[in-house]
């Protein structure tokens, strides 16, 4: 049975096209993906992403546990800062990509994980929690709205005394928002269009209060609810990875172009394996491409060289609303990962031309 978020009824009342995503009944689109995509790129839109997972890690050993399990260097975080990172498995694959929020330096951290990986990630961290760090899975009682777009913070600023207009990238503030206390507002983003994410507890009518306040402030300025369909096209234009498509337990951070969040200044799971990859090079790489011939690349489609030899596969693909052309990402053998070179995508029974381009696309 699908789970609901605190906003599921709202989506249905608003006429959203609903579908299952990571076990939740989620809005895929309201007025259409292209319209919603343009709304976020040019103005502002609201995503319900309450299906995401949140864990609190507390205590003197909390940072040490995070350092051992994640690739990025969380010791660099101070209060009010966040970072993008990933959990690696014993073979050097990616258990999940996640955000690490420093609530109180060296004492309290929040990890934000992908909806489909909540139980997997929790079990993985528990398994390695040798110092018995205090852990709380607050996923089911945490609401998360992402208000994205160039006008997002201007629309939201009147609802709080927190200075969200000047919130720097990968920082956050905590305070009262729309009359609700203990709201965390961050600027991490998954669209490349600017904006913030709002975390708050599902209690005392907070979801209704915050949703209504946001739309009362924003509707006159063109703020709209946005579905997961546009979220996917927006993140793909930026070349952001989606777990389960572009990264998974079999892909290493270096193959996925995530060397920038892989710090060898500390020890972490499978560090020797990944460090060896850095020294010797990886055999395949995540690349971006634009279609030359007409056709939409989809997850799992084969990528061929000009002679028709298989050299990899598509991990994500779509028709880009901003660029008006089909784009995609995929893994290819490293010797073929050269920007500007031509590849062929096996779309049904045809081999269609595409060319490698640098990410981001937009």
Q: What is the pLDDT of residues 143-200, one digit of tens each?
A: 999 999 999 999 999 999 999 999 999 999 999 999 999 999 999 999 999 999 999 9
Inter-CA distances, 325 with 79, 151, 228, 292, Å = 42, 26, 20, 9
pLDDT over 70 percentage in the chain: 100
Domain count, the chain: 1
Note the pLDDT of residue 196.
98
Give yes or no for residue 349 having a pLDDT over 90.
Answer: no
Domain that holds residue 299: 283-357
In a domain, 346, yes or no: yes
pLDDT in tens, 80-101: 999 999 999 999 999 999 999 9
How does residue 273 score in pLDDT terms, banded at 50, 70 and 90?
A: very high
In a domain, 345, yes or no: yes
In a domain, 121, yes or no: no
Across the chain, what does the average pLDDT equal?
97
Give yes or no for residue 47 having a pLDDT over 90.
Answer: yes
In a domain, 249, yes or no: no
Give yes or no for residue 66 having a pLDDT over 90.
Answer: yes
In a domain, 335, yes or no: yes
- Select from 231, 230, 228, 284 the least CA-distant residue to 256: 284
In a domain, 114, yes or no: no
Omega cis (within 30) before 360 = yes
State the number of CA atoms in the 13 A half-sphere of 359 facing the CB. Answer: 21
Residue 78 has a CB neighbour count (10 Å cut-off) of: 11
Judge if pTM exceeds 0.85.
yes
Alpha carbons 277 and 275: distance in angstroms, whole number: 5
Alpha carbons 218 and 44: distance in angstroms, whole number: 9
Alpha carbons 175 and 352: distance in angstroms, whole number: 52
Instruction: Output the 3-class SS for the chain.
Output: CCECCCCHHHHHHCCCEEEEECCEEEEEECCCHHHHHHHHHHCCEEEECCCCEEEEEECCCHHHHHHHHECCCHHHCCCCEEEEEEEECCCCCEEEEEEEEEEECCCEEEEEECHHHHHHHHHHHHHCCCCCCEEEECHHHEEEEEEECCCHHHHHHHHECCCCCCCCCCEEEEEEECCEEEEEEECCCCCCCCEEEEEEECCCCHHHHHHHHHHHHHHHHCCEEECHHHHHHHHHHCCCCCECCCECCCCCCCCCCCHHHCCCCCCCCCHHHHHHHHHHCCCEEEEEEEECCCCCCCCCCEEECCCCCEEEEEEEEEEECCCCEEEEEEEEEHHHCCCCCEEEEEECCEEEEEEEECCCCC
In a domain, 287, yes or no: yes
Which CATH number fits the domain that encloses residue 336? 2.40.30.110
Q: Which residues of 325-340 are buried (b: 16+ CB within 10 A; e: fewer)?
A: ebbbbbbbbbebbeee
54 contacts 238 by C-beta, under 8 angstroms: no
pLDDT in tens, 243-267: 999 999 999 999 999 999 999 999 9
pLDDT in tens, 198-235: 999 999 999 999 999 999 999 999 999 999 999 999 99
Note the pLDDT of residue 1.
87
pLDDT in tens, 103-142: 999 999 999 999 999 999 999 999 999 999 999 999 999 9
In a domain, 102, yes or no: no
41 contacts 234 by C-beta, under 8 angstroms: yes
Note the pLDDT of residue 262.
98
């Amino acid at each position: 049975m699908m789970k609901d978020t605190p906003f599921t009824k709202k989506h249905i009342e608003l006429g959203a096209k609903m579908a299952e995503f990571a076990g939740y009944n989620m809005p895929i689109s309201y007025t259409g993906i292209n319209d919603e995509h343009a709304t976020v790129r040019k103005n502002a839109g609201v995503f319900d992403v309450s299906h995401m997972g949140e864990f609190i890690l507390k205590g003197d050993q909390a940072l040490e546990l995070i350092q051992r399990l994640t690739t990025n260097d969380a010791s660099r975080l101070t209060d009010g800062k966040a970072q993008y990172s990933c959990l690696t498995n014993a073979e050097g694959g990616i258990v999940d990509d996640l955000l690490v929020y420093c609530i109180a330096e060296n004492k309290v951290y929040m990890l934000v994980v992908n909806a489909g990986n909540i139980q997997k990630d929790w079990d993985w961290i528990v398994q390695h929690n040798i110092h018995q760090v205090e852990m709380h899975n607050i996923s089911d009682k945490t609401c998360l709205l992402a208000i994205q777009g160039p006008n997002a913070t201007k629309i939201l600023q009147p609802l709080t005394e927190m200075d969200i207009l000047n919130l720097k990238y990968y920082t956050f503030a905590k305070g009262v928002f729309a009359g609700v206390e203990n709201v965390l507002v961050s600027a991490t983003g998954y669209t490349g269009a600017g904006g913030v994410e709002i975390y708050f507890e599902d209690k005392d009518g907070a979801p209704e209060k915050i949703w209504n306040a946001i739309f009362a402030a924003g509707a006159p300025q063109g703020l709209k609810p946005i579905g997961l369909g546009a979220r996917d096209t927006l993140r793909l234009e930026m070349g952001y990875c989606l777990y389960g498509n572009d990264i998974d337990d079999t892909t290493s951070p270096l193959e996925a172009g995530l060397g920038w969040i892989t710090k060898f200044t500390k020890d972490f799971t499978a560090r020797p394996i990944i460090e060896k990859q850095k020294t010797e090079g990886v055999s395949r790489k995540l690349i971006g491409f634009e279609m030359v011939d007409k056709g939409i690349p989809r997850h799992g489609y084969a990528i061929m060289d000009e002679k028709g030899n298989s050299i990899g596969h598509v991990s994500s693909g779509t028709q880009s609303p901003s660029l008006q052309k089909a784009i995609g990402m995929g893994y290819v053998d490293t010797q073929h990962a050269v920007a500007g070179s031509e590849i062929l995508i096996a779309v049904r029974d045809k081999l269609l031309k595409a060319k490698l381009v640098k990410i981001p696309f937009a």
